[in-house]
Chains A and B, each alone.
Chain A
Amino acid sequence: MKVGESVRRFDAPAKVRGDFTYSSDLHAEGMLWGATVRSPHPYARIVSIDTSEARAMPGVHAVLTHEDVPGQILYGLEIADQPVLAFDFVRYWGEAVALVAADHPEQARRAAAAVRVDYEVLEPVTDPEKGKVLRHIKIRHGDQNAHADVVVTGEYEIGMQDQAPLGPESGLAIPDGEGGIDLHIATQWLHIDQQQLASVLGLPRERVRLTMAGIGGAFGAREDLSMQAHACLLALKTGRPVKISYSRSESFVGHVHRHPGTLKYEHGATRDGRLVYVKARILLDGGAYASSSTAVIANASCFSCGPYQVPNATIDGIVVYTNNPPCGAMRGFGSVQNCYAHEAQMDKLAAALRMDPVDLRIRNAMETGSEMITGQRIEGPVPVAELLERVRKFPLPAGDGILPGGHSNTTHGEGVKRGVAYAVGFKNIGYSEGFDDYSTARVRLFVHEGQARAEVHTAAAEVGQGVVMVQAQMAGSELGVSDVVVLNADTRVGSAGSSSASRQTYITGGAVKAACEAVCQRVLEMAESELHPARDLRIEHDAVVDSSGNEIISLATLLGDAVIDETREFRPRATHHLDAETGQSDAHMQFAFAAHRAVVDVDTELGLVKVVELATAQDVGKAINPLAVQGQLEGGAAQGLGLAVMEEVQVKDGVIRNASFTDYLLPTILDMPPVRMDILELGDPSSPYGLKGVGEPPTISSGPAVIAAIRAATGCEINRVPVRPHDLTP
């Protein structure tokens, strides 16, 4: 099990048998079920809450309101502005107001419905143009009065996307009988949950212990607290284990979404196709609470121009508070919305210049050492032109003969037009703007059943991406042992940071590598002191070997009863705050690039789209587990396709109209075409094994390529995603 091998997942056998325990599968003796009373209004004053009827109902053990929160009543990832339970006001439709614990989930639901909340309904702010500014990023790069021969403008609107992880928000809180709590939970970052929970519960952190339960996908939806504090409050109040598991409709209000946005762009270029300037105003709707909006708008702004050399830029990125559903992290994190805009602009510019769209992109492509609009120079491989060349060179597909409309048999080919188009995008890997990005790994080496075993313990969230295998492969490579065990994540070990920002392979991988190197050093010291001093020893195939590879001593013999136990923290290069007036700064740590080509067929009479193929090229630096990397590129592209052609949380007057999988459309196996791919391993000189974060780039340019291909097929302008049939018909 080594770095670079396609390995099968440790957790897959249990998952295929149905034996893997997800957070919604947890149960305990004497367990109660929690339910949440939610606001039916996007904005209202709470006049009174009467819980007496609910308390008297059969099977009910507790009904809690904000008055029952013992610690801090507000929480949040960046800004503590969200009430654990609403007090005075509700600010979005579905906001949590009260909690119930009962013997049976139906009893809990009925009691929740019997909690009487008297509201004074207020006029919600639902137009982001009228929202209160949460953060305004200003980027002023180069000449602010630059002029260009050729100018194109555009305004683009992006709908609200849901992460839609299949596993619902769920977990089990178990009181320890001494005022502390054990929470079994599916989260992207155990320690940030622990920190927020300790604050809300008024407990020291060590009395709030978290253990990772199986995670049914995340994609950003599990960065904020959902039911964590609620289950703990109910468990501490009742002295009983409490499980909360959201229904799908509740899940739609139980987590933040991808920000919808309006993006106004102006691109200026020379007649020979060199970008002179970009001006943009990006307005994202943050909804009722801050979540990670302040970081999302920073990304949307820093990466607003795409991976192009732009000498002069004037960017205003604004995220506002409204009474719409709160928005925050989703795969791509601000770089998805802007990619639709900058890539549409590049196509417009190519048309205005009568240039090939790929040639225009390559002419302006960033290279190693190129300067971003934030003034940061990008070192290491920047293969933007190469990625575009590679996707352009792929042969065009014939398709599988299935037309738009599929088996509905709505056309025999009449009115069907094909389009082919390209997009490229980039984003940061890891945390930015001076955030202390680190992870912790503990590695133990000991003899188990006569053989050396390496045991890796981190708090990294295995959300499906495969970080469990990354840890195992790195330990296998570094320690030369065949028996590697990865312990379940919990808060007994130091923080790993979140499974987000495509950072976990880099940062937790870096920590595992560092801890393994420390273990390795101690093994070799042991070998040298116990045996004759030797040089150039290393561990290979469960033995200490010399420089010629001859076995000196087996690890099992050398170790005997000894346990070598090392814990290391790993930190990548530090980042810095954005200048408040100019946005100039080395704010980001690593950059990842991907390009996509989309081939679509469109029934221009009915406005139906079939994506025939997606092709992609991405530099991953080093593929730690190539099979898993392919899975990231395919799955990430599917989520990009989803936003392009079908996925939208539809919000009207602050109310979500489609909070279910019946009404919120996700790509099925019929919607998702084959993904042709080139995975480049160009090696980042500054990262462990040369790797780059992999997870997000596939979700950035895939959707914009699909939309561009639909434009190419239909000639329609399409300034809004997801595209709807009536956008495509005359």
Chain B
Amino acid sequence: MGLGELKIDCTVNGEHRVADGVWEGESLLYVLRERLGLYGSKNACEQGECGSCSVYLDGALVCACLVLGGQANGREVITVEGVDGERVQRAFVEAGAVQCGFCTPGLIVATHDLLRRHPHPDDALIREALAGNICRCTGYAKIIDAVHQAARPHPARDAGRPPQRVGR
């Protein structure tokens, strides 16, 4: 190949991982996906606009497409594959917040980050926190439902949501 000489030594989802022969221009997203086989973080815009590649880098929520692979050297990365997000994940499934699902991994990580900072966010806070995650399918209503469900052990209707009737 002869393109790059970089060696990246980091912790990913609690495991020590090494990527060798990395080209300096590779993003953390590329390294995670194509070097380490962790395809859960998605490549939708690769400009930090859509949040589909959201991961934790040393505990901070980042877009992996905006971080160079080399910047992860010696640091700790947690991706959707390793995030402790079962409750969030279940809520997204239950609420119907997943359609094509390409934005979903990023939303799972971003919601996880929101709920650890604010265990019971209201709609306004949810909207503010997830404004960096673009979803093209759902129109976001079911995503807001999912965040509320994840925030509560027992799902309950949010009083702020309008009623939805099916049938006559």
Name A's B-contacting residues (CB within 8 A). 6, 8-9, 11-13, 15-22, 24-25, 27, 58-59, 103-104, 106-107, 164-168, 214-219, 245, 247-248, 397, 400, 402, 407, 463-466, 613, 615, 623, 626-631, 634-639, 660-662, 666, 668-670, 672, 674-682
Contacts and interface: CB of A to CB of B under 8 A. Distances in A.
Contact of A16 (B2, B26, B98): B98
A638 B139 contact: yes
B89 interface: yes
A676 B136 contact: no
A400 B123 contact: yes
B99 A466 contact: yes
Contact of B165 (A13, A635, A670, A679): A679
B45 A248 contact: yes
A244 to B, nearest CB: 13
B107 to A, nearest CB: 9
Contact of B136 (A13, A165, A627, A628): A165
Contacts of B40: 17-19
B49 A662 contact: yes
Interface string B130-142: 1111111111111
Nearest to B24: A106
Q: Do most interface residues of chain A lie in helix, strand or loop, or is the interface mixed? A: loop
Contact of A58 (B2, B25, B90, B104): B2
Contact of B46 (A247, A465, A613): A247
Interface centre among B33, B134, B144 (most CB of A within 10 A): B134
Given A16-B89, A626-B166, A660-B47, A631 B142 contact: yes
Interface residues of B, number: 70
B127 to A, nearest CB: 5
B93 A106 contact: no
A666 B134 contact: yes
Contacts, number: 219
Interface in B32-63: 33-34, 37-47, 49-50, 52
A12 B98 contact: yes
B9 interface: no
Interface of B: 1-3, 23, 25-26, 33-34, 37-47, 49-50, 52, 79-81, 88-90, 92-94, 96, 98-105, 108, 123-124, 126-128, 130-144, 160-168
A630 B100 contact: no
A18 B124 contact: no
Nearest to A681: B167
A337 B157 CA distance: 37
Contacts of B137: 217, 464, 631, 635
15 contacts: A9-B98, A12-B98, A17-B40, A17-B89, A20-B101, A59-B3, A103-B3, A168-B43, A217-B102, A629-B166, A634-B139, A638-B136, A661-B134, A675-B141, A681-B168
A662 B47 contact: yes
A675 B161 CA distance: 9
Contact of A464 (B100, B105, B134, B141): B100
A15 B104 contact: yes
Nearest to B88: A16
Closest 7 pairs (CB-CB, A-B):
A18-B40, A464-B100, A15-B101, A216-B102, A634-B139, A638-B139, A464-B99
